Structure 1
Amino acid sequence: MTMQHFSDSELLTSMARGDEAAFTEIYHRYWQQLLAIAWKHTYDESSAKEIVQEVLIKLWDRRESLEIRELSHYLATAIKFSVFKHYHQQQRRKNILHSIFRSTHNADEEKIYARLLDDYINGIVEKLPEKCRQVYKLSRVEGKSNQQIAGAMNISEKTAEAHLTKALRTIRLNLRHINMLFFI
Protein backbone atom coordinates (compact mmCIF):
# COMPACT_ATOMS: atom_id res chain seq x y z
CA MET A 1 0.00 0.00 0.00
CA THR A 2 1.35 3.44 -0.95
CA MET A 3 1.33 6.40 1.42
CA GLN A 4 -1.26 8.20 -0.75
CA HIS A 5 -3.99 6.09 0.83
CA PHE A 6 -3.03 6.95 4.41
CA SER A 7 -5.00 9.52 6.35
CA ASP A 8 -3.28 12.62 7.71
CA SER A 9 -3.29 11.21 11.24
CA GLU A 10 -1.70 7.96 10.02
CA LEU A 11 0.94 9.95 8.15
CA LEU A 12 1.65 12.04 11.26
CA THR A 13 2.03 8.91 13.39
CA SER A 14 4.42 7.37 10.86
CA MET A 15 6.33 10.61 10.47
CA ALA A 16 6.70 10.92 14.28
CA ARG A 17 8.53 7.58 14.21
CA GLY A 18 10.93 8.95 11.57
CA ASP A 19 9.25 7.61 8.43
CA GLU A 20 10.57 9.86 5.65
CA ALA A 21 8.07 8.45 3.15
CA ALA A 22 5.22 9.73 5.35
CA PHE A 23 6.80 13.18 5.44
CA THR A 24 7.27 13.11 1.66
CA GLU A 25 3.58 12.28 1.22
CA ILE A 26 2.58 15.20 3.49
CA TYR A 27 4.93 17.41 1.48
CA HIS A 28 3.35 16.42 -1.85
CA ARG A 29 -0.19 16.46 -0.47
CA TYR A 30 0.00 20.01 0.93
CA TRP A 31 2.70 21.79 -1.07
CA GLN A 32 0.41 23.54 -3.59
CA GLN A 33 -2.18 24.52 -0.98
CA LEU A 34 0.48 25.97 1.34
CA LEU A 35 2.18 27.78 -1.52
CA ALA A 36 -1.14 29.38 -2.50
CA ILE A 37 -1.71 30.61 1.07
CA ALA A 38 1.82 32.01 1.34
CA TRP A 39 1.63 33.66 -2.09
CA LYS A 40 -1.75 35.21 -1.25
CA HIS A 41 -0.06 37.05 1.64
CA THR A 42 3.33 37.84 0.08
CA TYR A 43 2.62 38.24 -3.65
CA ASP A 44 6.16 36.99 -4.16
CA GLU A 45 6.79 33.47 -5.42
CA SER A 46 10.31 33.07 -4.03
CA SER A 47 9.27 34.35 -0.59
CA ALA A 48 6.21 32.09 -0.64
CA LYS A 49 8.33 29.04 -1.52
CA GLU A 50 10.84 29.93 1.19
CA ILE A 51 8.05 30.21 3.77
CA VAL A 52 6.52 26.86 2.78
CA GLN A 53 9.93 25.18 2.92
CA GLU A 54 10.55 26.68 6.36
CA VAL A 55 7.20 25.42 7.71
CA LEU A 56 7.70 21.92 6.31
CA ILE A 57 11.26 21.71 7.65
CA LYS A 58 10.01 22.73 11.10
CA LEU A 59 7.28 20.09 10.84
CA TRP A 60 9.94 17.43 10.22
CA ASP A 61 12.31 18.77 12.88
CA ARG A 62 9.56 18.80 15.54
CA ARG A 63 7.82 15.61 14.40
CA GLU A 64 8.38 13.74 17.67
CA SER A 65 6.96 16.45 19.93
CA LEU A 66 4.05 17.79 17.88
CA GLU A 67 0.46 17.01 18.81
CA ILE A 68 -1.59 17.88 15.75
CA ARG A 69 -5.33 17.23 15.54
CA GLU A 70 -5.98 18.56 12.04
CA LEU A 71 -2.90 18.70 9.80
CA SER A 72 -4.35 21.04 7.16
CA HIS A 73 -5.38 23.61 9.81
CA TYR A 74 -2.04 23.30 11.58
CA LEU A 75 -0.08 23.86 8.36
CA ALA A 76 -2.26 26.78 7.22
CA THR A 77 -1.83 28.48 10.61
CA ALA A 78 1.92 27.82 10.57
CA ILE A 79 2.13 29.40 7.10
CA LYS A 80 0.28 32.50 8.30
CA PHE A 81 2.59 32.88 11.30
CA SER A 82 5.62 32.42 9.06
CA VAL A 83 4.30 35.05 6.64
CA PHE A 84 3.87 37.43 9.56
CA LYS A 85 7.42 36.69 10.76
CA HIS A 86 8.77 37.07 7.22
CA TYR A 87 6.97 40.42 6.84
CA HIS A 88 8.49 41.75 10.07
CA GLN A 89 11.96 40.59 9.04
CA GLN A 90 11.55 42.34 5.70
CA GLN A 91 10.37 45.52 7.43
CA ARG A 92 13.34 45.40 9.81
CA ARG A 93 15.73 44.96 6.86
CA LYS A 94 14.11 47.85 5.00
CA ASN A 95 14.30 50.07 8.08
CA ILE A 96 17.96 49.21 8.60
CA LEU A 97 18.79 49.82 4.94
CA HIS A 98 16.83 53.08 4.96
CA SER A 99 18.65 54.17 8.11
CA ILE A 100 22.03 53.30 6.60
CA PHE A 101 21.16 55.09 3.35
CA ARG A 102 19.86 58.14 5.20
CA SER A 103 22.96 58.39 7.42
CA THR A 104 25.26 57.84 4.43
CA HIS A 105 23.31 60.38 2.40
CA ASN A 106 23.41 62.91 5.27
CA ALA A 107 27.13 62.27 5.78
CA ASP A 108 27.76 62.85 2.07
CA GLU A 109 25.74 66.07 2.14
CA GLU A 110 27.63 67.21 5.21
CA LYS A 111 30.96 66.47 3.54
CA ILE A 112 29.94 68.45 0.46
CA TYR A 113 28.65 71.32 2.59
CA ALA A 114 31.82 71.31 4.72
CA ARG A 115 33.97 71.31 1.59
CA LEU A 116 32.04 74.24 0.09
CA LEU A 117 32.26 76.15 3.36
CA ASP A 118 35.98 75.43 3.62
CA ASP A 119 36.52 76.65 0.04
CA TYR A 120 34.50 79.78 0.76
CA ILE A 121 36.47 80.54 3.93
CA ASN A 122 39.77 79.93 2.11
CA GLY A 123 38.66 82.45 -0.52
CA ILE A 124 38.00 85.03 2.21
CA VAL A 125 41.35 84.28 3.88
CA GLU A 126 43.22 84.78 0.59
CA LYS A 127 41.75 88.31 0.34
CA LEU A 128 42.99 89.28 3.83
CA PRO A 129 46.02 91.54 4.21
CA GLU A 130 49.26 89.54 4.13
CA LYS A 131 50.15 89.65 7.86
CA CYS A 132 46.54 88.97 8.85
CA ARG A 133 46.41 85.98 6.47
CA GLN A 134 49.72 84.59 7.78
CA VAL A 135 48.59 84.85 11.41
CA TYR A 136 45.25 83.18 10.61
CA LYS A 137 46.92 80.27 8.79
CA LEU A 138 49.49 79.77 11.55
CA SER A 139 46.72 79.77 14.15
CA ARG A 140 43.90 77.87 12.47
CA VAL A 141 45.69 75.68 9.94
CA GLU A 142 48.89 74.86 11.82
CA GLY A 143 47.38 75.14 15.31
CA LYS A 144 50.01 77.46 16.77
CA SER A 145 49.43 79.67 19.81
CA ASN A 146 49.66 83.46 19.70
CA GLN A 147 53.01 83.24 21.50
CA GLN A 148 54.39 80.80 18.88
CA ILE A 149 53.05 82.98 16.05
CA ALA A 150 54.64 86.09 17.56
CA GLY A 151 57.99 84.29 17.77
CA ALA A 152 57.77 82.92 14.22
CA MET A 153 56.77 86.25 12.66
CA ASN A 154 58.95 88.41 14.90
CA ILE A 155 55.97 90.47 16.14
CA SER A 156 54.51 91.03 19.60
CA GLU A 157 51.97 88.61 21.00
CA LYS A 158 49.38 91.45 21.13
CA THR A 159 49.96 92.17 17.43
CA ALA A 160 49.47 88.50 16.58
CA GLU A 161 46.26 88.52 18.61
CA ALA A 162 45.06 91.70 16.85
CA HIS A 163 45.72 90.21 13.39
CA LEU A 164 43.88 87.01 14.32
CA THR A 165 40.93 88.99 15.72
CA LYS A 166 40.74 91.04 12.51
CA ALA A 167 40.87 87.87 10.36
CA LEU A 168 38.13 86.15 12.35
CA ARG A 169 35.92 89.26 12.30
CA THR A 170 36.30 89.54 8.51
CA ILE A 171 35.43 85.86 8.04
CA ARG A 172 32.38 86.11 10.33
CA LEU A 173 31.09 89.20 8.52
CA ASN A 174 31.42 87.47 5.16
CA LEU A 175 29.69 84.36 6.47
CA ARG A 176 26.78 86.46 7.73
CA HIS A 177 26.27 87.74 4.21
CA ILE A 178 25.61 84.22 3.04
CA ASN A 179 23.59 83.28 6.13
CA MET A 180 26.17 80.84 7.41
CA LEU A 181 27.29 82.22 10.75
CA PHE A 182 29.64 79.74 12.30
CA PHE A 183 31.84 80.12 15.28
CA ILE A 184 35.38 79.78 14.05
Structure 2
Amino acid sequence: MTRYEPPSDADLIMSLREGNSGAFTEIYNRYWKQLLAIAYLHSRDKTMAEEIVQEVFISLWNRRNELYIDNVNAYLATAVKLSVFKQLVRQKRRDEIKEQVAVTDTSSFDEEQIYTRFLQQQINGVVEVLPEKCRLVFKLSREEGLTIPEVALRMGIAEKTAEAHLTKALKVLKLRLNRPYIWVLLLIKALM
Protein backbone atom coordinates (compact mmCIF):
# COMPACT_ATOMS: atom_id res chain seq x y z
CA MET A 1 0.00 0.00 0.00
CA THR A 2 1.49 3.33 -1.06
CA ARG A 3 1.12 6.36 1.09
CA TYR A 4 -0.23 9.61 -0.41
CA GLU A 5 2.35 12.37 -0.50
CA PRO A 6 0.96 15.88 -0.92
CA PRO A 7 2.64 17.79 -3.73
CA SER A 8 5.53 20.04 -2.81
CA ASP A 9 5.23 23.81 -3.11
CA ALA A 10 7.59 23.70 -6.10
CA ASP A 11 5.32 21.20 -7.86
CA LEU A 12 2.28 23.32 -7.05
CA ILE A 13 3.91 26.46 -8.48
CA MET A 14 4.88 24.58 -11.63
CA SER A 15 1.28 23.35 -12.02
CA LEU A 16 -0.05 26.82 -11.23
CA ARG A 17 2.11 28.31 -14.00
CA GLU A 18 0.41 25.85 -16.38
CA GLY A 19 -2.99 27.19 -15.31
CA ASN A 20 -3.94 24.28 -13.03
CA SER A 21 -6.74 25.59 -10.80
CA GLY A 22 -6.36 22.54 -8.55
CA ALA A 23 -2.82 23.66 -7.71
CA PHE A 24 -4.15 27.10 -6.90
CA THR A 25 -6.79 25.59 -4.62
CA GLU A 26 -4.15 23.50 -2.86
CA ILE A 27 -1.95 26.58 -2.29
CA TYR A 28 -4.96 28.50 -1.02
CA ASN A 29 -5.99 25.73 1.39
CA ARG A 30 -2.42 25.34 2.59
CA TYR A 31 -1.76 29.01 3.38
CA TRP A 32 -4.93 31.10 3.78
CA LYS A 33 -5.25 30.73 7.57
CA GLN A 34 -1.62 31.66 8.14
CA LEU A 35 -1.89 34.65 5.79
CA LEU A 36 -5.08 35.83 7.46
CA ALA A 37 -3.32 35.69 10.83
CA ILE A 38 -0.38 37.71 9.46
CA ALA A 39 -2.68 40.30 7.89
CA TYR A 40 -4.69 40.65 11.08
CA LEU A 41 -1.57 40.85 13.24
CA HIS A 42 -0.32 43.82 11.21
CA SER A 43 -3.63 45.57 10.50
CA ARG A 44 -5.72 44.78 13.60
CA ASP A 45 -8.74 44.91 11.29
CA LYS A 46 -10.52 41.67 10.42
CA THR A 47 -12.24 43.02 7.30
CA MET A 48 -9.05 44.60 5.98
CA ALA A 49 -7.14 41.38 6.69
CA GLU A 50 -9.67 39.27 4.79
CA GLU A 51 -9.67 41.66 1.81
CA ILE A 52 -5.88 41.73 1.68
CA VAL A 53 -5.56 37.94 1.73
CA GLN A 54 -8.18 37.73 -1.02
CA GLU A 55 -6.31 40.32 -3.11
CA VAL A 56 -3.00 38.49 -2.65
CA PHE A 57 -4.51 35.23 -3.88
CA ILE A 58 -6.21 36.99 -6.81
CA SER A 59 -2.86 38.53 -7.71
CA LEU A 60 -1.19 35.13 -7.44
CA TRP A 61 -3.68 33.66 -9.90
CA ASN A 62 -3.54 36.63 -12.28
CA ARG A 63 0.27 36.65 -12.33
CA ARG A 64 0.70 32.85 -12.37
CA ASN A 65 2.40 32.85 -15.79
CA GLU A 66 5.13 35.28 -14.78
CA LEU A 67 5.94 34.05 -11.27
CA TYR A 68 9.10 32.22 -10.29
CA ILE A 69 8.75 31.50 -6.59
CA ASP A 70 11.31 29.55 -4.59
CA ASN A 71 9.52 29.72 -1.25
CA VAL A 72 5.73 29.99 -1.52
CA ASN A 73 5.23 30.56 2.19
CA ALA A 74 7.73 33.45 2.34
CA TYR A 75 6.46 34.93 -0.94
CA LEU A 76 2.82 35.00 0.18
CA ALA A 77 3.67 36.24 3.69
CA THR A 78 5.73 39.09 2.24
CA ALA A 79 2.97 39.96 -0.24
CA VAL A 80 0.45 40.15 2.60
CA LYS A 81 2.74 42.32 4.77
CA LEU A 82 3.40 44.71 1.88
CA SER A 83 -0.30 44.91 1.07
CA VAL A 84 -1.13 45.71 4.69
CA PHE A 85 1.56 48.39 4.72
CA LYS A 86 0.25 49.94 1.49
CA GLN A 87 -3.31 49.89 2.78
CA LEU A 88 -2.30 51.53 6.06
CA VAL A 89 -0.35 54.23 4.19
CA ARG A 90 -3.39 54.89 1.95
CA GLN A 91 -5.66 55.06 4.99
CA LYS A 92 -3.29 57.44 6.76
CA ARG A 93 -3.16 59.65 3.66
CA ARG A 94 -6.98 59.66 3.40
CA ASP A 95 -7.20 60.67 7.06
CA GLU A 96 -4.70 63.50 6.47
CA ILE A 97 -6.72 64.75 3.51
CA LYS A 98 -9.92 64.61 5.56
CA GLU A 99 -8.20 66.69 8.24
CA GLN A 100 -6.97 69.20 5.63
CA VAL A 101 -10.44 69.45 4.16
CA ALA A 102 -11.97 69.96 7.60
CA VAL A 103 -9.48 72.75 8.37
CA THR A 104 -9.68 74.53 5.00
CA ASP A 105 -13.39 74.21 4.34
CA THR A 106 -16.26 74.09 6.76
CA SER A 107 -18.70 72.72 4.18
CA SER A 108 -19.07 68.96 4.27
CA PHE A 109 -17.10 67.00 1.71
CA ASP A 110 -18.42 63.65 0.73
CA GLU A 111 -16.17 60.62 0.41
CA GLU A 112 -16.02 60.97 -3.37
CA GLN A 113 -14.59 64.49 -3.20
CA ILE A 114 -11.98 63.41 -0.66
CA TYR A 115 -11.07 60.42 -2.78
CA THR A 116 -10.80 62.60 -5.89
CA ARG A 117 -8.45 64.92 -4.04
CA PHE A 118 -6.39 61.94 -2.88
CA LEU A 119 -6.12 60.65 -6.46
CA GLN A 120 -5.16 64.09 -7.72
CA GLN A 121 -2.32 64.19 -5.20
CA GLN A 122 -1.17 60.76 -6.36
CA ILE A 123 -1.19 61.95 -9.98
CA ASN A 124 0.71 65.11 -9.05
CA GLY A 125 3.34 63.02 -7.28
CA VAL A 126 3.89 60.85 -10.36
CA VAL A 127 3.92 63.86 -12.71
CA GLU A 128 6.62 65.57 -10.64
CA VAL A 129 9.09 62.74 -11.28
CA LEU A 130 8.56 62.69 -15.06
CA PRO A 131 11.40 63.94 -17.27
CA GLU A 132 11.27 67.73 -17.63
CA LYS A 133 9.84 68.05 -21.17
CA CYS A 134 7.44 65.18 -20.60
CA ARG A 135 6.20 66.86 -17.40
CA LEU A 136 5.84 70.24 -19.12
CA VAL A 137 3.87 68.79 -22.04
CA PHE A 138 1.59 66.93 -19.63
CA LYS A 139 0.95 70.05 -17.52
CA LEU A 140 0.30 72.25 -20.53
CA SER A 141 -2.06 69.69 -22.00
CA ARG A 142 -3.92 68.54 -18.89
CA GLU A 143 -3.68 71.46 -16.49
CA GLU A 144 -3.82 74.40 -18.90
CA GLY A 145 -6.01 72.61 -21.42
CA LEU A 146 -3.84 73.30 -24.46
CA THR A 147 -4.14 71.15 -27.56
CA ILE A 148 -1.11 69.30 -28.94
CA PRO A 149 -0.54 71.94 -31.66
CA GLU A 150 -0.73 74.70 -29.01
CA VAL A 151 1.69 72.83 -26.73
CA ALA A 152 4.10 72.30 -29.64
CA LEU A 153 3.94 75.98 -30.59
CA ARG A 154 4.48 77.20 -27.01
CA MET A 155 7.42 74.85 -26.44
CA GLY A 156 8.94 75.30 -29.91
CA ILE A 157 8.84 71.59 -30.72
CA ALA A 158 7.21 69.47 -33.38
CA GLU A 159 3.63 68.30 -32.82
CA LYS A 160 4.76 64.68 -33.08
CA THR A 161 7.34 65.32 -30.36
CA ALA A 162 4.73 66.91 -28.10
CA GLU A 163 2.41 63.99 -28.75
CA ALA A 164 5.19 61.51 -27.97
CA HIS A 165 5.94 63.27 -24.66
CA LEU A 166 2.26 63.22 -23.69
CA THR A 167 1.97 59.53 -24.63
CA LYS A 168 5.02 58.74 -22.51
CA ALA A 169 3.60 60.69 -19.54
CA LEU A 170 0.29 58.85 -19.77
CA LYS A 171 2.07 55.48 -19.98
CA VAL A 172 4.11 56.28 -16.88
CA LEU A 173 0.96 57.34 -15.05
CA LYS A 174 -0.81 54.17 -16.10
CA LEU A 175 2.08 52.00 -14.92
CA ARG A 176 2.58 53.83 -11.63
CA LEU A 177 -1.06 54.22 -10.70
CA ASN A 178 -2.52 51.16 -12.46
CA ARG A 179 -6.08 51.97 -11.47
CA PRO A 180 -8.86 52.42 -14.04
CA TYR A 181 -10.57 55.23 -12.13
CA ILE A 182 -7.43 57.38 -12.52
CA TRP A 183 -8.12 57.50 -16.25
CA VAL A 184 -11.65 58.70 -15.62
CA LEU A 185 -10.22 61.57 -13.56
CA LEU A 186 -7.69 62.41 -16.31
CA LEU A 187 -10.41 62.37 -18.96
CA ILE A 188 -12.65 64.63 -16.87
CA LYS A 189 -9.78 67.11 -16.47
CA ALA A 190 -9.15 67.02 -20.21
CA LEU A 191 -12.79 67.79 -20.97
CA MET A 192 -12.98 70.67 -18.49
Using the size of structure 1 for normalisation, the TM-score is: 0.54
Kindly report which structure 2 residues correspond to 1:36-115, keeping only aligned pairs within 5 A, or say none. 36-105=37-106
**1:104: Cα distance to partner?**
2.4
SS of residue paired to 1:83: helix
Question: Partners in 1 of 2:40 and 2:9 — Cα distance?
Answer: 24
Q: CA offsets per residue over residues 55-74 of structure 1, 9 Å max, x none? A: 11111111111110010011
Question: Partners in 2 of 1:73 and 1:17 — Cα distance?
Answer: 21
Report the residue type matching 1:25 in the other structure. E
Q: Aligned pair in 2 of structure 1 residues 52, 37: CA closer, same or farther (>3 Å)?
A: same
Alpha-carbon contact 1:4-1:25 (below 8 Å) kept:
no
Q: Which runs of 5+ in 1 are unaligned?
A: 109-184
Using the size of structure 2 for normalisation, the TM-score is: 0.52
Q: CA offsets per residue over residues 104-128 of structure 1, 9 Å max, x none? A: 23x79xxxxxxxxxxxxxxxxxxxx
- Between structure 1 and structure 2, the one with the greater Rg is 1
User: Alpha carbon RMSD of aligned pairs, Å?
Assistant: 1.9
**1:4: Cα distance to partner?**
8.0
Question: Partners in 2 of 1:81 and 1:67 — Cα distance?
Answer: 18
Percentage of identical aligned residues: 48
SS of residue paired to 2:64: coil
Q: Aligned pair in 2 of structure 1 residues 6, 22: CA closer, same or farther (>3 Å)?
A: same
The number of residue pairs the alignment matches comes to 105
Report the residue type matching 1:90 in the other structure. Q
Are 1:15 and 2:16 counterparts? yes
Q: Which runs of 5+ in 2 are unaligned?
A: 109-192
Q: CA offsets per residue over residues 3-38 of structure 1, 9 Å max, x none? A: 981111111111110111110111111000000000
Query: 1:34 matched to which residue of 2?
Result: 35
SS of residue paired to 1:5: coil
Report the residue type matching 1:46 in the other structure. T
Query: 1:128 matched to which residue of 2?
Result: none
Report the residue type matching 1:50 in the other structure. E
Moved segments of 4+, more than 2 Å: none
Q: CA offsets per residue over residues 164-184 of structure 1, 9 Å max, x none? A: xxxxxxxxxxxxxxxxxxxxx
Question: Partners in 1 of 2:39 and 2:5 — Cα distance?
Answer: 24
Report the residue type matching 1:99 in the other structure. Q
Q: Aligned pair in 2 of structure 1 residues 11, 4: CA closer, same or farther (>3 Å)?
A: farther
Report the residue type matching 1:60 in the other structure. W
